[in-house]
Structures are given as C-alpha cells and as structure tokens.
Amino acid sequence: MSGLDLERLVLAAGPVGLMQACCDVAFDYVHQRKQFGQRIGEFQLIQGKLADMYTNLNACRSYLYSVARAVDRGHDCAGVILYCAEKATQMALDALQCLGGNGYINDYPTGRLLRDAKLYEIGAGTSEIRRMLIGRALNSEYK
C-alpha cells in the first residue's frame, strides 16, 4: 500500500462519518418536528429523502470497507474518496433540506456538516483532479 492510498482511505472515512452525522440529525428532526398536525417524517417526500440518505450511507460505507480490503491486497483506491466526498455533500444538502429553514441557521449542525462535506471535494485534490487521475489510470490499462 502506498502512502497515497493510505491517505485516500483515511480521507474517504471522513465523508462517511459526516454522512452518519447527517442521518442522525435529519432522522431525529423529522420525527420530532410537527407540521399540519403530524410529524414531517410521515410525509412521503421526506420518507423518500430519508430512504435515499440511508441507502447512500450504507453504499458508501460498504464501498469504503471493500476498497480497504482491496488495498491490503495491493489494489488502488482513488475512486472511493471521489465517490464518498460527493455523496457526503449531497447528503448534507438533503439533511439541510429536511430541516427546512432550521437547517440553514446555526442552531443546528447541518450548515457546518455541509461546509465540512464540501471540504472533502476540494481538499487534498479536487473532484475534477481525482476524475482526471482515475481516467488516466483507466486509459493506461488499455495502451
């Protein structure tokens, strides 16, 4: 395992942790907040958003664990940080949306979670650079 692979794995774990935090905040909020006489977690569109958040979290977590095992066998792991970072940003936006206006104010952690998630897309190499490196690696396999 190269030092870069280890860094990518460590960096990919951060977005997965942020995704869990987004789920924790949003799931709790929608089951407490009432609107029109019922909890907003009972609204179908909110349920769909929660389902997407849940499945994205589990997909990213599984992908991260699978790649970690593969890196131990000498495989590359460039894609995991790209995928997890972008999914974390989308999940933070979804969590913010679940909280509505409250998601935007500093009384709730969703704004900070969004800023933290976005940092993983731009820190230690942007998503665009990661895509370029992955594309180059894929092209080199066919030369």
Instruction: Name the active-site residue from 7, 86, 121, 141.
Output: 7
- Token readout for 58 is 């589990």
In the 8-state DSSP scheme, what is residue 104? T
Q: Residue 7 catalytic?
A: yes
In the 8-state DSSP scheme, what is residue 143? -
Beta-bridge partner residues of 39: 34
Question: What is the distance between the alpha carbons of residues 61 and 18, in angstroms, rounded to a whole number?
Answer: 11
Report in angstroms the alpha-carbon separations of 107 from 23, 41, 71, 86, 102.
Answer: 17, 20, 40, 25, 7
Question: What is the distance between the alpha carbons of residues 23 and 16, in angstroms, rounded to a whole number?
Answer: 11
Q: Which residues are identified as catalytic?
A: 7
